[in-house]
Structure 1
Amino acid sequence: MNIDMIRAAAQRLEGHARKTPLLSSPFLDEIAGRRLFVKPECLQHTGSFKFRGGWSALSAMDEATRQKGVLAFSSGNHAQGVAFAAQQHGVPAVIIMPADAPQLKIDNTRALGAEVVLYDRAKESREEIGARLEAERGLTLVKPYDEPQVIAGQGTCGLEIAQQAADLGISEAEVVVCCGGGGLTSGIALALEADAPGLKVRPAEPEGFDDVKRSLASGQIETNPAMSGNICDAILTPAAGDLTFPIMHRLCGPGIAVSEDECLHAMALAFLRLKLVVEPGGAAAMAAALFHGDELEGDTVIATISGGNVDPEMFTRALQSYAR
């Protein structure tokens, strides 16, 4: 992985991905205790940053490989990103999704033309299912985070942050990023190292699923004891990737763990103050910026909102929890 791959991905994404803005609100600044800027990738195609990685990976394939079709496994956002990229390229996509993924994400993935294969994540291995389908159909696996071209695509978000921060006169800030396997986090960190070295990345994860936080502290890849049991489904992964962890270990500051209630509160505030619809996992970085100010440094923080694919029931729960 290097900055040249990210810049090349940005060229391939030109005219296909949305350049999402940096948003702010004085109400949020007051809660955060500093200037807070939000990068809303919930406004990206398919509702998350995952489209960047999906398009980057497919557009980098040779035509013969791409035409055979692609395979991905995901709880929903990578699924939709790859499905839409495949649809736009006119090639088949098979997506392996956990049966307990939000129904909206399953429905959206099917609506984008992908074949969805559901599995029980407590009893079945998505890797084994994927290996079988690869062999049977000649598909190419697009990994959700530990894949160079996917990381490159996600890193284009960091290129935008660097330019937008410069336009605002921001040369020093902490950039809090929602983190699962680390594709977005490592990609942004590489982009900022090159274009905005005064901006430091901090991973944000759910409490009890903070393997990256623990890995950064120990210096080796730690794993999560479970794969479910938290509302932040989009960022529940077994462990950081073999490609993503070394990048994060070199470039990121300490991780931050946030509670479910903090994510729900952040979801409500994003709606009320920024007019954004955010899913729980997508709100983790904003929750860290708002409610963990004692773990941050400086007078400016930038937080990613990584996705907005939330079922109505969960979004209602967030608004009701804020009302209480």
Structure 2
Amino acid sequence: MTKQDLIDCHDRIKPFIHITPVLTSRLINEMIGAQLFFKCENFQRMGAFKMRGAANAIMQLTAEQRKNGVVTHSSGNFAQALSLAAQGLGVKAYIVMPNTAPQVKKDAVRGYGGMVIECEPTLEAREHESKNIEDQYGATFIHPSNDDQVILGQGTACMELLEAQPGLDYVATPVGGGGLIAGTALAVHYFGTNCRTIGGEPLATDDAYRSLLSGQIETNTTTNTIADGLKTQLGDRNFPIIQKHVEKIIRVTEKEIIASMRIIWERLKIVCEPSSAVAFAAVLNQKGKFNEKKIGIIISGGNVDLSHLPF
């Protein structure tokens, strides 16, 4: 994926996304001993960065593919993103969701025009049901994170951040399925100047951290983290990009995630979800490393169940 691919992608999706703001906090800067610039994708359409990749992936389909619709399996933000992007482009979206997904998430997908197909809460069941829809309707499968067009779309958030703040030393993102950090790493590589990409990952689901160490895609045996958007694993499209362009992944505890989320709510006065707080938690965890640096942080989303806040 080239620099021009990212530029073309950004031009393509502009009519379907918000150019989100970059916020700062003097108190947070003093706390870290650095300058932090928060790229607020919680203000993106449907409340998360995933709108970018979903829109780009659909727009790259042929007319015939669009006619037959798209399908994905997701219980989170990508389910909503693909539904909304498909609705805006006049394409049918089939969304395979585990029957254990919160009703509010199923309702949100339906509200954006997606057709919800429920399945058992296992990866095998999700993949099986998605394949059935592909076979039955001719729908094109779009993976939430392991897809080149999705990765490019997600990278446009960092492009905008680097345009607003060209002198960054680091850009930090949360790490789940790998689409955001891979896209960010490409944007940093092509548009940054002596800038490096780092990731934050929950200690409870540290498969990406272990994957970089072992050189192969690792899995998690537990998913016991409040950062529910980061329970997925890397894929064969994004992992090579992460290997090549990500400097390091910093693991953080559940306490650190919750404390960081609270600071963002209190100091920036914005709503962010637990997964979003993980990148900031990583910087806070190793603040000595970032002393007097300029750091961009991608606030990946703001879709929170307000009846279950952790503080």
TM over 0.5: yes
2:274 alignment partner in structure 1? 280
**Alpha-carbon distance change, 29 to 108 in structure 1, aligned in 2, over 3 angstroms:** same
| 1:168-201 per-position Cα deviation (integer Å, ceiling 9, x unaligned) | xx2x411111111111111111111111132211
Query: Deviation per CA, 1:193-251, whole angstroms, max 9, x where unpaired?
Result: 1111322111111112111111112222222123x3222111111x3110111111111
Question: Could you tell me which of 185, 189, 192 is aligned with 1:189?
Answer: 185
- 1:83 to 2:83 alignment: yes
2:221 counterpart of 1:204: no
* Cα deviation, residue 146, structure 1: 1.0
The 1-side partners of 2:65 and 2:22 are apart by 37
1:117 maps to: 117
Cα drift, residue 297 of structure 1 = 6.2
Inter-partner Cα distance in structure 1 for 2:246 and 2:290: 13
Equivalent AA in structure 2 for residue 42 of structure 1: N
In structure 2, relative to structure 1, the CA distance for the partners of 1:103 and 1:24 (3 Å cut) is: farther
The verdict on how the C-alpha distance between 1:103 and 1:289 changes in structure 2, with shifts beyond 3 A counting, is farther
Letter in 2 for 1:183: G
Change (3 A) 1:290 1:104: farther
- Which secondary structure does the structure 2 equivalent of 1:11 belong to? helix
- 2:12 & 2:61 partners in 1: Cα distance? 12
Amino acid at match of 1:246: P
Residue 226 (structure 2) pairs with residue 231 (structure 1): yes
Q: CA deviation at 1:294?
A: 3.9
Q: 1:60 to 1:291 in 2, by over 3 A?
A: same
Q: Does 1:290 align with 2:284?
A: yes
Partner of 1:39: 39
Gaps of 5+ in 2: none
SS in 2 for 1:15: helix
Equivalent of residue 260 in structure 1, options 227, 245, 254: 254
In structure 2, distance between residues paired with 1:249 and 1:154: 18
Structure 1 runs, 4 residues or longer, greater than 6 Å off = none
The AA in structure 2 aligned to 1:197 is: T
CA distance in 2, matches of 1:232, 1:301: 22
Report the CA distance between 1:55 and its aligned residue.
0.3
Partner of 1:241: 235
- Does 2:294 match 1:306? no
| Cα displacement (A) at 1:37 | 1.3
For 2:224, give the aligned amino acid: G
User: What is the CA distance between 1:74 and its match in structure 2?
Assistant: 1.3
- Distance in structure 2 (CA, Å) of the matches to 1:214 and 1:298: 29
Describe the superposition over 1:133-156 as per-residue Cα deviations: whole angstroms up to 9, x where unpaired. 110111111111111111111111
Deviations for 1:56-109, whole angstroms, at most 9, x for unmatched residues? 011111122112111011121111110000110122111112334344332211
Question: In structure 2, what residue type is equivalent to 1:284?
Answer: V
Superposed CA RMSD in Å reads 1.7
Change (3 A) 1:99 1:187: same
Distance 2:21 2:96 in 1: 32
CA shift, 1:261, in A, is 2.0
**Cα deviation code 1:249-301 (max 9, x no counterpart):** 11111101122222222222222111211111121112212333245465222
TM-score by length of 1: 0.91
State the one-letter code of the partner of 1:4.
Answer: Q
- 1:24 paired to 2:24: yes
Q: Secondary structure of the equivalent of 1:310?
A: coil
Q: Report the CA distance shift for 1:115/1:38 in structure 2 as closer, same or farther (over 3 A).
A: same
Partner of 1:213: 209
2:244 to 232, 241, 250: 250
Q: Aligned AA for 2:260? A: A
Query: 2:92 — aligned with what?
Result: 92
Q: 1:176 and 2:175 equivalent?
A: no
Residue identity opposite 2:192 in structure 1: A
Residue 68 of structure 2 is aligned to residue 68 of structure 1: yes
Q: Tell me the residue number matched to 2:164.
A: 164
Q: Secondary structure at the match of 2:116?
A: strand
Task: Please give the alpha-carbon distance, in whole angstroms, between the structure 2 residues aligned to 1:125 and 1:5.
Answer: 34
Amino acid in the other structure paired with 1:177: T
Which residue identity is paired with 1:53? G
| Separation of aligned partners in 2, 1:126 and 1:229 | 20
Cα shift at 1:22: 1.7
